[in-house]
């Protein structure tokens, strides 16, 4: 697109994204699970591209790809991931990697620009084998025993075997070098419809929400569904259903503006048509970026549980099984993205939290981190129809490159 070499080359960005889409293509999306042949080819594709940006490539022992700059001075780490969910979209991951590559190509060759952009592709952000394995390995959060234990959630193949199959077994893992980077910057599709419905071009991510999860277990009395009169039943399934409805009725008065909650799985014991359930369990999740809101909602859940226990006829027990602190994005980096949006997207940006998890939350534990969102058509992701308008992809690239410059120049 631009003749101005100080800007992102939109046509080059689109061509790179389409090249990655052609590797492991599935309908209009891709099928590129972690350590599959198309994933391996995508890692090699990136490693071959990195020298165009003055970067030397390494694929490490957990499948992370790094492009290291020899240019002296400040370095900004930027990237995302290259594997996909099964039969999913073409932009979730590759968009952030290609933006980082483009920023590195434009900035690293510019003698007037202070510092450089280093590119990374984190392995297994999509969690086929674990939970942010690549980025957690980089920050020192993955042990050899963790790798021994990891298995592909679809095929059951062990991670050791997968690493051997793609030729990465025995390679060293790259870990963070303290002081090397001024921060980490990741672009991603929004995966929601906030930007599209407001006709905005850029989301400036303020935080990545924390996730709290609970196991809520109801105990009643298992009995015959034909002979047990309604008045004397202790139906754990019914108690659970009432609890779900009560959550939906009472949470709105206590939650924050963007709190979300979900009952993800319900199991009835024994779960037979002619038996009154004696036990029932639900897995319940709350997401918010404010720990105070979560604490308030957890208090409310406990109050509701004690009301159930006081009223009968069933008993309920509440167990917290997962907590995750929200990751706050760096304020000065947010300002840089906003300023770049004024310069390249007519100021069509909004500050917003991310309801989905991203590698940036792992990086935020060791360095300043930032994220930029581009619109998702129809808010669709984790499906092969996932898409973003070409014009929005190009605008996002301009904003990303300019924001990298501003961060490095600050």
Which residues of the chain form contacts with Zn ion (CB under 5 A)?
92-93
Query: What's the CA gap between 183 and 360, in Å, rounded?
Result: 10
From the number of C-beta atoms within 10 Å of its C-beta (0-12, 13-18, 19+), residue 249 rates as: exposed
Least separation, in Å, of the C-beta of 65 and Zn ion?
Answer: 15
Nearer to Zn ion, 89 or 278 (CB): 89
* Smallest separation (angstroms) from Zn ion to the CB of 384: 15
Contact (Cβ atoms closer than 8 angstroms) between residue 95 and residue 203: no
Residue appearing with tokens 């700059």: 69
Closest CA to 93 of 359, 340, 361, 323: 359
Q: Compare residues 40 and 188 and give the one whose CB is closer to Zn ion.
A: 188
Closer Cβ to Zn ion, 32 or 406, answer by number: 32
Residue number with the smallest Cβ distance to Zn ion: 92
Task: Determine the length of the chain.
Answer: 410
21 vs 93: CA distance, rounded Å? 11
Q: Which is nearer to Zn ion, 33 or 277 (CB)?
A: 33
Q: Name the minimum Å distance from CB 106 to Zn ion.
A: 23
Residue closer to Zn ion (CB basis): 134 or 220:
134
Considering the complex, what minimum distance in angstroms separates the CB of residue 189 from Zn ion? Answer: 8
State the nearest-atom distance from the C-beta of 249 to Zn ion, in Å: 34
Output 328-332 pairs: Cβ under 8 A, ≥24 positions apart.
328/206, 328/207, 328/289, 328/364, 329/205, 329/206, 329/207, 329/208, 329/360, 329/364, 329/369, 329/370, 329/371, 330/183, 330/364, 330/368, 330/369, 330/370, 332/368, 332/407, 332/410
SS3 of 121, please?
strand
Question: Least separation, in Å, of the C-beta of 362 and Zn ion?
Answer: 13
Nearer to Zn ion (CB atom), residue 69 or residue 361? 361
């Amino acid at each position: 697109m631009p003749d101005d070499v100080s800007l992102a080359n939109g046509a080059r960005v689109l061509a790179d994204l389409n090249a990655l889409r052609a590797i492991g293509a599935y309908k209009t999306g891709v099928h590129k699970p972690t350590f599959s042949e198309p994933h391996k080819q995508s890692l090699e594709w990136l490693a071959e591209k990195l020298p165009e940006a003055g970067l030397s490539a390494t694929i490490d022992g957990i499948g992370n790809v790094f492009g290291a700059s020899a240019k002296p001075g400040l370095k900004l780490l930027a990237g995302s991931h290259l594997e996909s969910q099964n039969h999913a979209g073409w932009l979730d991951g590759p968009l952030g990697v290609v933006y980082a590559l483009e920023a590195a190509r434009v900035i690293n060759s510019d003698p007037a620009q202070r510092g450089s952009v280093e590119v990374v592709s984190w392995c297994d952000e999509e969690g086929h084998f674990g939970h942010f394995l690549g980025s957690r390995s980089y920050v020192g959060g993955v042990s050899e025993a963790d790798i021994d234990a990891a298995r592909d959630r679809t095929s059951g193949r062990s991670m050791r075997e997968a690493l051997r199959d793609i030729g990465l077994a025995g390679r060293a893992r790259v870990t963070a070098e303290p002081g090397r980077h001024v921060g980490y910057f990741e672009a991603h599709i929004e995966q929601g419809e906030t930007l599209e419905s407001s006709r905005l071009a850029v989301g400036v991510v303020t935080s990545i929400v924390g996730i709290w999860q609970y196991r809520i277990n109801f105990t009643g009395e298992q009995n015959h569904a034909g002979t047990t009169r309604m008045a004397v039943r202790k139906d754990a399934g019914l108690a659970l259903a009432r609890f779900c409805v009560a959550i939906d009725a009472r949470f709105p008065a206590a939650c924050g503006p963007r709190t979300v909650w979900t009952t993800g799985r319900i199991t009835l014991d024994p779960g037979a048509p002619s038996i009154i359930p004696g036990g029932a369990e639900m897995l319940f999740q709350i997401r918010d970026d404010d720990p105070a809101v979560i604490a308030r909602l957890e208090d409310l859940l406990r109050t509701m549980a004690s009301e159930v226990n006081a009223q009968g006829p069933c008993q309920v027990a509440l167990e917290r099984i997962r907590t995750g602190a929200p990751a706050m994005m760096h304020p000065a980096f947010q300002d840089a993205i906003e300023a770049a949006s004024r310069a390249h997207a007519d100021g069509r940006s909004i500050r917003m939290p991310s309801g989905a998890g991203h590698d940036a939350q792992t990086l935020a534990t060791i360095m300043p981190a930032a994220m930029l969102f581009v619109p998702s058509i129809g808010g669709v992701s984790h499906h092969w129809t996932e898409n973003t308008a070409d014009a929005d992809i190009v605008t996002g690239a301009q904003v990303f490159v300019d924001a990298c410059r501003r961060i490095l120049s600050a």
